[in-house]
Structure 1
Amino acid sequence: MGSIDYRFERLEQPVDVAEYLFRRLYEVGIRSIHGLPGDYNLLSLDYIPKAGLKWVGNVNELNAAYAADGYARVKGISALVTTFGVGELSALNGIAGAYAEQVPLVHIVGCPSTTSEKNGLLLHHTLGNGDYNVFKNMYAQISCYVAKLDRPNEIADEIDHAIRECWLRSRPVYIMVPSDMVTEQVEGARLKTPLDLSEPANDSAKEDYVVDVVLKQLYAAKSPVMLVDACAIRHRCLDEVNDMLEKTNLPVFVAPMGKGAVSEQYHNYGGVYAGNGSHADVARVVEGADLVLSVGALKSDLNTSGFSYRLSQLNTIDLHSTHCTVGFSEYHGLAMRGVLRKLIERIDQTQLSIITTPQVKSDPSMYERQGPDSEVITQSWLWSRVSGYLRENDIVVTETGTPNFGIWDTVFPSGVTALNQNLWGSIGWSVGACQGAALAAKDDNVNRRTVLFVGDGSFQLTAQELSTMIQHQLRVTLFVICNEGYTIERFIHGPDEVYNDIDDWHYKDLPAAFGARDGQASTFVARKKSELEALFNDKEFQEAEGLQFVEVHVPKMDAPEALKLVAEAAARNNARAAK
């Protein structure tokens, strides 16, 4: 006891652990905390408003994790609070997705007191085996840093280090807060010094060497192009990407997960490159290039249309957050930001050979197989028409399935932020992510629309988050694409099997069922092109501030062409695995 008193006497400005933690989260830009209450975190929650933060009570922990994921993608970083065992395990899938997709998220778990653990008490929410660390050990596999705040002298350091790791590595961290540590005191004077979130500098000599090699190849190339993907977004390198384009006028393309990384109004923007899923003109230019400068590539199956890239590694320069690859030579510990910045400084535009790449505009006639007078809403018509509906600075969220693939054919206005989950691909993610994204925009005090496209099957998994959108008066336009079930699964296997079917809901009744009062939500049903066209052209619909909920009915076995190609590749891979 004497040692504790002595330590307290040395604190210049003692603050409680929970206050210190939440003030640090506020410092890095977080303004809202997602999560659910539980008896092990209740005391911590009292500190949230004291730190200037807002509590977002979600419907369940999985949805809260999805929402925190969406919030981080718009705001830069997010935080989630759950309770020990039952709460954190419900969030596990959402956190795993954030880890896979490199999203910075601070997961705070209220847990039993250190005294309870020391005495081996048989508490609720445990497995009944005395192991209080089993869930922490699970999270170690899907977190870039795990902290248990049970050593008072180290708590402030642990919190600061966890937040730094979350930001720099752009992945979730896990902070376990025992209930008796919430009011333990730490040095508050540390809060006067902001966290150092700057990226470590590259080794100068190695960086110079790689830049010289890259410049030599760029100058020698006759038809170089740039290809931008998800990790350029996740690791905050878009300023460098855009400065590089401004300096060089290079033709630029994006991978599906990188859509929105580059302004699609840029004069030398060419479109989405996804191997076999690309428009023919896009594939011709990218695959015909004698040098591809790839930034932040994430070459998953869905992102490459079943690993169908036709790019020579010999003619590819890959820049990543942890290493760079030039041809077949890999340079570890060399981050893309420093390399790009030095390239921008040193490049001589007069030595570059630049081709002009016409924009690949979305054209429904490329895939439309119906007569011009048909009123049936098809996938090809829908995604082309969405191009004219979207506005500058919209946030566009697309669900795994038809929306993730259909959006490839949509041309974005300037400033659009696109959210998708092509790698993890957890259906239902988009509804929670939409809530988080819309809240992030509201927290930034910018009046941006958040537009969600989600299939009916996916929507049914997480529909309850409508209530959170309504509660926080978020500006969301939500399109539920009704096609009687799991379309992407139908194209992989079992097109007519019952396991790919879902029950038909009265979707337009859901906002009222989830608490929308008069004026808080508007609902619409579009079964014909003319009905959806009328909505897209309606000024009141375009400018609405609250929740807008739209049922869009499309044929059961209609799907974007890219989805069909990927589904075929997935079926082949599954068959090979079975053999």
Structure 2
Amino acid sequence: MAMDIRTSNLTTPVTVAEYLFTRLHQIGIRSAKLKWVGSVNELNAAYAADGYARIKGIGALITTFGIGELSALNGVAGAYSEHIPLVHIVGCPSTISQRNGMLLHHTLGNGDFHVFTNMSASISCEQAKLLNPAEIASQIDHALKECWVKSRPVYLWLPTDMVEKKVEGERLKTPVDLVEPKNDPEREDYVVDVVLKYLHAAKNPIILVDACAIRHRVLGEVQDLIDKTEIPVFVTPMGKGAFNESSPNYGGVYAGSGSHPDVAALVEGSDLVLSIGSLKSDFNTSGFSYRTSQLNTIDFHSTHCQVRYSEYPGVKMRGVLRKIADRVDVLKLSKSPMAKVENQVAQNMDDSKTITQAWFWPRLGEYLREGDIVVTETGTPNFGIWETKFPPGVTGVTQVFWGSIGWAVGAAQGAALGARDAAQDKRTILFVGDGSFQLTAQEVSTMIRHGLRVTVFLINNDGFTIERWIHGMDEAYNDISMWNYTAIPAAFGASEKQASSFVIKTKEELEKLLTDKTFNEAKGLQFVEVFMPREDAPRGLKITTEISARNIARTE
């Protein structure tokens, strides 16, 4: 066999597979080097990789081409939509098979092996076809940097005959450069000066923290700014968990018309809103119902800043926030008094035994403890959690923008695995509706197989309650079959030591469970079926769906 001159001069030859998996491990994807997770299908795997990335910082999944990657596309698209760094590795037929146009399984039979890659082009910030061993290492490094810096999925196309090809292993001694490019100093300083001028002049400024502050990793800069200025802080639904809700500076969740009236009054009465990482989707704003003026708003984004009506392209928020925190004159600041945010359990207590949405979510706030991971599903949980005050260090995991029903079950598996890989002894707590659960219930099997520490609160309200409020309270398409939900762990092979199940129908039963020592320790899988009325919904959901239904139905 002739020597391949492209790889003959390598100092430390390693296979492409070894290079790729080592790089993934180096950037924090610990599962990549240590074990095969093996979700039950590709869609759930994409959801799980999304949840893993929200805990560990970045995630990855591997699928076969065509039939596998198409099954995962919904989950990858959600990661793109919500700014989640995800590495999608697609194993495809050999370069020789492709060149010969062979009629292989999983293809469309037209000889086009790139059709599926093209489908992923719009939901990835970088695509790398790993075809030339001399270029593969640099392609991988570049794609991983783009994934991290842009906080969006990337697509790696790996033919079977490239897996064992040799690349330069010496490169592995130098970590991938994941540092975000800095702003031009003069432009950055100018924006900082403009922001400080308005901040020093404001009478009642507030800070509003949104999703992209989390996704683009500026929470450290935000925290330093808040520590120094003590300006009142609010979060959006997608920003929940970004700030310590036990802080005296915390004012609550702002979601336009869906906010508590006191919260809305403080935010909308402010003469300067420092909006950090905003993602103003319909459900994140209660149907675009913000009553704040751009004239009183400064927006900080990962690609630009906007001060009132003046936009500064290319001036990214990280450097600007850092300098504002360093240079702000606290003696020139005005601050408004803050009302204390509490879990309003007593205020939402009634005389019935029935578990209501209004009572349930504040009560869960007293059950949660420092460091928990809280995963909420599209539907009533994503809106109910607005009413839950988090203890310090709680990580909120939601998919408010993309809103793929069933996402949270896979995401909870990934989040729990991420916590374990980070050597963090944390509870992962999933809140999911019965309708949503039926889409991805199989991922409970993966939780059991890996012995993950997950507590599932399944809200049994007899169907798709959020859809009932949007379109058709009594329509058949919002009904589902009634499953024996608490039998599912056993059906998926869990022993009594691996999983425990509970059926909860009254406030008293839930109260007893939430105060049980063993339940709070949450050593394995715990499955709790909580019954609630079919038409009951969180306050924020009712308001948002009413506005959303009008927006969807608009004809002009």
TM-score, normalization: structure 2? 0.99
CA distance in 1 between partners of 2:369 and 2:341 (Å): 19
Give the match for residue 144 of structure 2: 163
What SS does the aligned partner of 2:89 have? strand
What's the CA shift for 1:364? 4.5
What SS does the aligned partner of 2:37 have? strand
CA distance in 2 between partners of 1:269 and 1:567 (Å): 27
Report if the CA contact (8 A) 1:109-1:175 is conserved. yes
Give the match for residue 217 of structure 2: 236
Aligned-residue Cα RMSD (Å) equals 1.1
CA distance in 1 between partners of 2:345 and 2:36 (Å): 44
Which one of the candidate residues 460, 466, 471 is aligned to 1:482? Answer: 460
Deviations 1:322-359 (A, max 9, x none): 00000001111111110001111111111111112123
Within the alignment, does 1:286 sit opposite 2:264 as a pair? Answer: no
Within the alignment, does 1:390 sit opposite 2:384 as a pair? Answer: no
Identity among equivalent pairs (%): 66
Report if the CA contact (8 A) 1:59-1:468 is conserved. yes
What's the CA shift for 1:569? 1.2
Give the match for residue 262 of structure 1: 243
Give the match for residue 420 of structure 1: 398
CA distance in 2 between partners of 1:497 and 1:358 (Å): 42
CA distance in 2 between partners of 1:557 and 1:99 (Å): 33
Deviations 1:223-272 (A, max 9, x none): 00000000000001110111110010000000000000000011110000
Within the alignment, does 1:24 sit opposite 2:16 as a pair? Answer: no
Give the match for residue 492 of structure 1: 470
Which one of the candidate residues 175, 199, 203 is aligned to 1:194? Answer: 175
CA distance in 2 between partners of 1:448 and 1:353 (Å): 39
What's the CA shift for 1:56? 0.3
Give the match for residue 441 of structure 2: 463
Q: Which runs of 4+ in 1 moved over 3 A?
A: none
Which one of the candidate residues 90, 99, 114 is aligned to 1:118? Answer: 99
What's the CA shift for 1:151? 1.6
Give the count of matched residue pairs.
Answer: 556
Alignment of 1:332-343 (within 5 A): 332-343=313-324
Report if the CA contact (8 A) 1:149-1:178 is conserved. yes
CA distance in 2 between partners of 1:405 and 1:544 (Å): 25
Alignment of 1:304-383 (within 5 A): 304-364=285-345, 368=348, 372-383=350-361
CA distance in 2 between partners of 1:199 and 1:486 (Å): 42
Within the alignment, does 1:173 sit opposite 2:151 as a pair? Answer: no
What's the CA shift for 1:361? 2.0
Deviations 1:99-126 (A, max 9, x none): 0000000000000000001111111101
Deviations 1:450-509 (A, max 9, x none): 000000000000000011000100101100000000001100111101100000000000
Q: Which runs of 5+ in 2 are unaligned?
A: none
TM-score, normalization: structure 1? 0.95
Give the match for residue 208 of structure 1: 189
CA distance in 2 between partners of 1:312 and 1:447 (Å): 43
Report if the CA contact (8 A) 2:7-2:134 is conserved. no
Q: What letter is aligned with 1:346?
A: R
What's the CA shift for 1:365? 6.1
Report if the CA contact (8 A) 1:100-1:424 is conserved. yes
Give the match for residue 146 of structure 1: 127
CA distance in 2 between partners of 1:204 and 1:540 (Å): 55
CA distance in 2 between partners of 1:83 and 1:506 (Å): 34
Report if the CA contact (8 A) 2:205-2:272 is conserved. yes
- Stretch deviating more after TM superposition (4-13 or 115-124): 4-13
CA distance in 2 between partners of 1:442 and 1:391 (Å): 18
Give the match for residue 513 of structure 2: 535
What SS does the aligned partner of 2:156 have? strand
Give the match for residue 381 of structure 2: 403
Report if the CA contact (8 A) 1:271-1:359 is conserved. no
What SS does the aligned partner of 1:7 have? coil
What SS does the aligned partner of 1:55 have? coil
What's the CA shift for 1:152? 1.7
Deviations 1:352-406 (A, max 9, x none): 111121233232466x4x7x32100000000010011000000000000000000
Q: What letter is aligned with 1:20?
A: Y
Report if the CA contact (8 A) 1:122-1:128 is conserved. yes
CA distance in 1 between partners of 2:394 and 2:199 (Å): 30
Give the match for residue 96 of structure 1: 77
Report if the CA contact (8 A) 1:457-1:485 is conserved. yes
Report if the CA contact (8 A) 2:7-2:133 is conserved. no
